[in-house]
Structure 1
Amino acid sequence: MQDSAAVAEVARESGGWDRNSSYFYALLGTNFAYTGAVAVADHRVVGLVVGYRVPSSPDTQFVWQVATAAAFRGRGVATHSLAVGSGQTGPSSLPRSDGDPIER
């Protein structure tokens, strides 16, 4: 996952979360890419959802972290990222803020 350092920075900026390394997010982005989402605007990471599906119960998703960059809070980034990460909606349905797409 090429954005792992940026994802780690958004998680740290959000405060209160575990201090995970960029390598941790690279592993999650590689191994659990279909159960998480990264929101991007202005070519930078502005939000994230990290989680995984429980192997013994594929209909159950565990969400580990949800974070949004301060400048993008209150715009629905986390809500839509959760929907994308859980497969409830596709990236194209994410909202646009100030004309910038927010995508998975």
Structure 2
Amino acid sequence: MFAVVKIAGQQFKVQAGQSLYVPHLQGKSGDKVEFSDVLLTDDNGTLSTGSDVKAKVTAEILADLVQGDKVIAFKMKRRKGYRKKKGHRTHYTQIKIESIA
């Protein structure tokens, strides 16, 4: 059984027991979170979408703050002495899907 869930504005295809990184969620490691915005479910070949979906996905937070790779934004204008270097690291949360019910 799998489901497509909307988490923080992004869609993820999840299965029970799967571990994945999602955009940063509030909570500490060990907390349980529930996602009720399920877009699609597949139960042994029977698909349900839209308003037919009555499932909820529960997950446990494994790591509350994981930083992604550094992304560099470098701007330069040649022969003018203009250089700007900015960077950022996106924050993620690692969760483990416990059940789709």
Instruction: Write 1 or 2 for the structure with the bigger share of strand.
Output: 2
TM-score tier by shorter-chain length is: under 0.3
TM norm structure 2: 0.22
- Between 1 and 2, higher relative CO (CA 8 Å, sep ≥ 6) is seen in 2
Q: Which has the larger radius of gyration?
A: 2
Query: Which has the larger helix fraction?
Result: 1
